[in-house]
């Protein structure tokens, strides 16, 4: 009896308890780069800039900005994703949602505890050491600064410029808290560092701290400088912080780093681990199922410059400089990549040729379930190395081939007029495959009385047509004939008068026949008194 009031009390407490906090969603409804008082909250107008500001100011632990398909020109300065908790800015896909700064400023600055960018193109960003922003000259497309974590998923980061580091993506050392940067299913291409007075690092990506990249393509990025500082990492650069007690950490899985470059005085056109003060700190780098090839430096091919042996697992290196020394890796080989193009999915990729040494050469352990485009892995016996998994077309089965041979003989060889006579046809299949639906057609003398062949499905299937012009047409269906087997049919003739009698026929089936000359047969006799 006491359970009833106890249950009521618990129910009352449940009603009084505060509901779990739910995240807010802000729907962008204009492509204009405007700021309106109360935008996205009290005012129905909701620009991308106002939506990000509202999400950044929200007290909710998770906030979402939805950006419809369209082109969004940025003209009022960088878009700052800030605030506590997680703030996600999600487009409809990199081919549909485009954020373009038109070289007026950086595109995104990520400073939230966890900042997430998804499904969009980030382009036209520009930073310069003289523009007064801090940090100056870093991250033309995306700057992760004082963000605990920056997650970039399904992005096309292209056509951005910086005068110092990380033209595409940068997480520089000026921040008190190092940002952990994660890049997934993205393409980082055509971004360029022009070079500051002290250094020029990471044309596509520059990260100091923690970096992870999976199923992504880094291509056509570059680093040049007019100064005398370090020039490294045309594609990806992981930097070591000499002031930190924590080593820098990098993980690159099933990605493709190709066609990037460094200018005069530079090293590592593709992938670099940079240590400004050797011996003071270190970095760990795991590279798995990844292509680093076809990158260039001032003197030619230049794929990597890594200060310590990486943990390598089934990679492909173009020039051997990446130290991919494990048994599953390939060094000094051409991956046979196509050009950057739409191969399916929301981001462009570098396709593998049908004869690429990267095919079926990856490690199964740690291989993602799909490639950058969403194509399931593996398509062959093992995962392909790189961001692209080749859909290998199944070879059509070879056409069945059956060599049918036909012979015809009279019995007896010297028949008497008014006596017995039969023409015996023998069909044999020399293979290599079965001959389905074998059929014999021909002509026999008009005095033929019947044709007898083997039963097919319990019935005899030989027929003689009505006599015409001294002949009768013969049709005999023999059914399937296995390789190495044969069948016979017999045509009975009643010769009433002495004279010549002839037969001729041809055999065919549903299988291709490599030799049609032996598919036909003729025979003849002369009856006597």
Strands in 486-493's sheet, in edge-to-edge order, are 402-411, 421-432, 486-493, 448-452
Kindly indicate the confidence band of residue 308, based on its pLDDT and cuts at 50, 70 and 90. confident
Residue 99 lies in a domain: yes
- CA–CA separation, 58 vs 237, rounded Å? 34
123-132, 150-159, 230-239, 351-360, range with the lowest pLDDT: 123-132
| Residues above pLDDT 70, as percent of the chain | 92
Mapping DSSP onto H, E and C, the string for 83-105 reads: CCCEEEEEECCCCCEEEECCCCC
pLDDT tens column, 313-333: 999 999 989 999 999 999 999
Q: Report the pLDDT value the prediction gives residue 7, as an integer from 0 to 100.
A: 38
Domain containing residue 465: CATH number: 2.60.40.1530
342 and 457 fall within a common domain: no
Please tell me whether residues 342 and 411 are part of one structural domain.
no
Domain-embedded: residue 454 = yes
CATH number of the domain bearing residue 231? 2.160.20
The per-residue pLDDT for 131 is 66
Question: Which of 312, 332, 352 is where one domain is finished?
Answer: 352
pLDDT of residue 227: 67
Q: Looking at the structure, do residues 328 and 406 belong to the same domain, yes or no? A: no
Q: Note the pTM of the prediction, 2 decimals.
A: 0.74
Same domain, yes or no: 294 and 170: yes
pLDDT of 473 reads: 94
Is residue 398 within 8 Å of residue 432, measured between CB atoms? no
Structure confidence at residue 271 (pLDDT):
96
CA 474, distance to chain mean position in Å, is 58
Q: What is the DSSP string of 66-77?
A: EE-SEEEE--SS
- The arithmetic mean of pLDDT across residues 75-94, rounded, is 96
Query: Could you tell me if 426 and 522 lie in one domain?
Result: yes
Instruction: Specify if 8 maps to a domain.
Output: no
Edge-to-edge strand list for the sheet holding 296-297: 126-127, 161-162, 192-193, 222-223, 261-262, 296-297, 300-301
Q: What is the mean pLDDT of residues 350-358?
A: 96
pLDDT digits (tens, 9 = 90+) for 426-481: 999 999 999 999 999 999 999 989 999 898 888 888 999 999 988 999 999 999 99
**Mean per-residue pLDDT for 356-366?**
96
Which of 201, 238, 208 minimizes the C-alpha distance to 223?
A: 201
For the chain, the domain total comes to 2
Question: Where is mean pLDDT largest: 68-82, 134-148, 305-319?
Answer: 68-82
Residue 2, pLDDT score: 34
So what's the pLDDT on residue 79?
Answer: 97
Q: How far apart are CA 368 and CA 372, in angstroms?
A: 9
Q: Cβ distance 449 to 403 under 8 Å?
A: no
Vertex 179: Cα angle to 174 and 181 (nearest 5): 130
The pLDDT of residue 337: 98
In a domain, 11, yes or no: no
Q: Does the pLDDT of residue 176 top 70, yes or no? A: no
Flag whether pLDDT at 83 surpasses 80. Answer: yes
Say yes or no: 319 and 409 in one domain: no
Q: Examine the fold and report which residue of 289, 322, 352 is the final residue of a domain before the chain moves on.
A: 352
Confidence class for position 394, pLDDT limits 50, 70, 90: low
**344 lies in the same domain as 417:** no
Tell me, what's the pLDDT at 12? 37
pLDDT of residue 13: 33
Domain interval for residue 436? 402-527
pLDDT for 197 beyond 70: no
412 lies in some domain? yes
- Using CA atoms, how far apart are residues 352 and 336, in angstroms rounded to an integer? 6
**pLDDT tens track for 33-70:** 999 999 999 999 999 999 999 999 999 999 999 999 99
Is the pLDDT higher at 398 or at 523?
A: 523
343 and 447 belong to one structural domain: no
Both 91 and 223 in one domain: the answer is yes
Render pLDDT for 487-506 as a digit per residue (tens, 0 to 9). 999 999 888 888 898 999 99
Domain identity same for 34 and 113 = yes
Least confident of 3-7, 175-179, 353-357: 3-7
Domain shared by 178 and 32, yes or no: yes
- Provide the pLDDT for residue 92: 98
In a domain, residue 6? The reply is: no
Residue ending a domain, among 352, 371, 392, is: 352
Cα of 351 vs its chain's centroid, Å: 8
348 and 467 inside one domain: no
> Is 4's pLDDT higher than 60?
no
* pLDDT, mean of residues 235-245: 83
Considering the domain boundaries, does residue 410 fall inside one? yes
Cβ neighbours for 230, distance < 8 A, ≥ 6 positions apart = 199, 200, 201, 274, 276
Residue 381 lies in a domain: no
- Identify the pLDDT of residue 6: 34
Q: Map residue 327 onto helix, strand or coil.
A: coil
Q: Which of 9-18, 410-419, 427-436 shows the lowest mean pLDDT across its residues?
A: 9-18
Instruction: For Cα atoms 145, 139, 248, give the angle at the middle one, nearest 5 degrees.
Output: 60
- The pLDDT confidence band at residue 15, using thresholds 50, 70 and 90, is very low
Smallest Cα–Cα separation from 363: which of 347, 388, 378, 382?
382
Q: What is the mean pLDDT of the chain?
A: 89
Residue 358: pLDDT above 90?
Answer: yes
């Amino acid at each position: 009896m006491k359970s009833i009031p106890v249950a009521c009390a618990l129910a009352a407490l449940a009603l009084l308890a505060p509901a779990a906090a739910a995240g807010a969603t802000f729907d962008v409804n204009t492509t204009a780069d405007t700021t309106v008082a109360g935008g996205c909250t009290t005012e129905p107008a909701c620009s991308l800039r106002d939506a990000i500001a509202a999400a950044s100011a929200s007290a909710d632990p998770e906030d979402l900005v939805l950006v419809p398909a369209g082109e969004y020109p940025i003209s009022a300065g960088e878009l700052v994703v800030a605030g506590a908790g997680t703030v996600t800015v999600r487009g409809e896909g990199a081919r549909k949602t485009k954020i373009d700064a038109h070289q007026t400023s950086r595109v995104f600055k990520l400073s939230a505890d966890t900042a997430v960018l998804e499904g969009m193109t980030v382009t036209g960003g520009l930073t310069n050491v003289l523009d007064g922003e801090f940090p100056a000259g870093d991250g033309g497309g995306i700057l992760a600064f004082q963000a605990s974590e920056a997650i970039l998923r399904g992005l096309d980061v292209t056509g951005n410029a910086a005068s110092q580091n990380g033209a595409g993506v940068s997480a520089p050392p000026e921040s008190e808290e190092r940002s952990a940067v994660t890049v997934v299913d993205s393409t980082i291409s055509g971004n360029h560092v022009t070079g500051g007075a002290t250094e020029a690092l990471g044309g596509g990506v520059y990260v100091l701290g923690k970096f992870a990249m999976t199923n992504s393509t880094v291509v056509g990025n570059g680093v040049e400088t007019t100064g005398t500082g370090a020039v490294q990492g045309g594609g990806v650069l992981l930097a070591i912080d000499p002031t930190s007690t924590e080593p820098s950490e990098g993980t690159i899985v099933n990605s493709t780093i190709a066609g990037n470059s460094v200018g005069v005085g530079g090293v590592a056109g593709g992938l670099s681990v940079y240590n400004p003060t050797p011996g003071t700190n270190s970095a760990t780098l795991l590279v798995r199922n990844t292509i680093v090839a076809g990158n260039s430096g001032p003197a030619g091919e230049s794929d990597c410059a890594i200060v310590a042996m990486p943990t390598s697992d089934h990679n492909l290196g173009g020039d051997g400089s990446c130290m991919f020394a494990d048994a599953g890796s390939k060094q000094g080989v051409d991956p046979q990549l196509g050009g950057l193009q739409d191969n399916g999915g929301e981001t462009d990729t570098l396709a593998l040729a049908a004869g690429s040494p990267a095919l079926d050469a990856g490690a199964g352990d740690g291989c993602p379930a799909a490639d950058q485009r969403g194509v399931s892995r593996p398509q062959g016996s093992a995962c392909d190395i790189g961001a692209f998994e080749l859909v290998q077309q199944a070879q059509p089965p070879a056409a069945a081939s059956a060599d049918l041979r036909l012979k015809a003989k009279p019995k007896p060889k010297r028949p008497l007029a008014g006596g017995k006579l039969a023409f015996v046809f023998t069909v044999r299949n020399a293979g290599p495959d079965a001959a389905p639906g074998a059929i014999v057609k021909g002509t026999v003398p008009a005095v033929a009385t019947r044709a007898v062949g083997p039963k097919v499905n319990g019935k005899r299937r030989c027929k003689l047509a009505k006599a015409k012009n001294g002949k009768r047409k013969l049709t005999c269906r023999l059914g399937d004939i296995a390789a190495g087997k044969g069948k016979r049919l017999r045509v009975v003739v009643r010769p009433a008068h002495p004279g010549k009698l002839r037969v001729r026929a041809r055999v065919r089936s549903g299988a291709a026949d490599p030799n049609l000359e032996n598919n036909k047969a003729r025979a003849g006799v002369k009856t006597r008194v």
